[in-house]
Amino acid sequence: MTIPHLISGLAAGLNIGADFTTAISGAGLLSSPNPLGGSFDLDDLSQHNFPIEHDASMSRQDAALGNPQPFYNPNWQQYISFFAGKAQTDVPTAAKAKYARTQDSQKRNPEFVYGLREAVFSYGENALYLQTMGSDPLSGKAKVEYVRSLFEKEKLPFELGWRPSVLPITLPSLGAMVVELQASSPEPLPEGVKIVADSYKDVFIAVAGGSNILGNLTAGISEALGL
């Protein structure tokens, strides 16, 4: 996968902005055996705790407990059970479900790793599905059947009536929802730590090694986008 191909494909399929695609692709390139080669594959993203893989996933096992790559229904059922009886998702329920998964992994995984990076990425993953499966990147409302199709069938739910968001899904929209999710969550943050709207973007840049390295990895695309 290359950044230009991903920018084009994710914009066409999910209306995801070039800024988010470039940020996550930069992390992907850094994990590649040849970071300056301009391409990476999904296996590169599966390295434990780098660049974006982490414990307490909604739908994958922790690496210490099993294979973290395939869909893992027990974890997913724990998460999605919080939406029982609901036709649509909402931010407060997603925040509670996410924290329940975190607590469960922490309890069962003797090698559990979960710091600020993992917390921000975890909130970001929740924001990403809420926005891509919803009709807009603001409300946090998506049909639960759409979300189930995305995770359980690993396909976009076109046959159920889903269509991409009319508004683009960007690092600012995702960052704002990360803040909203964290504010709705019972999950405590370490003393002195605060998640703000730029935290999601900043974590991607930090994982890549900083803006200059991200610019080199992306052949200047990130710089053109202000990252």
DSSP 11-68: HHHH-B-HHHHHHHHHHHHHHSSSGGGSB--GGGGGSTTSSS--SS-SSS--TTTS-S
Kindly report the pTM of this predicted structure: 0.94
Share of the chain above pLDDT 70, in %: 98
Alpha-carbon span 162 to 36, nearest angstrom: 37
Domain 3-224 falls in which CATH fold?
Chloroperoxidase (1.10.489)
pLDDT band per the 50, 70, 90 thresholds, residue 30: confident
| Mean pLDDT, the chain, integer | 94
Tell me how crowded residue 106 is: count the other CB atoms within 10 A of its CB. 15
Average pLDDT on 102-123 reads 96
Give the start-to-end residue ranges of the domains of the chain.
3-224
Share of the chain above pLDDT 90, in %: 81
One-letter identity of residue 209 = G
**Cβ-based neighbours of 188, under 8 Å, separated by 6 or more:** none
| pLDDT in the model for residue 44 | 66
> Looking at per-residue confidence, does 219 or 177 come out higher?
177
pLDDT tens per residue, range 184-197: 999 998 888 899 99
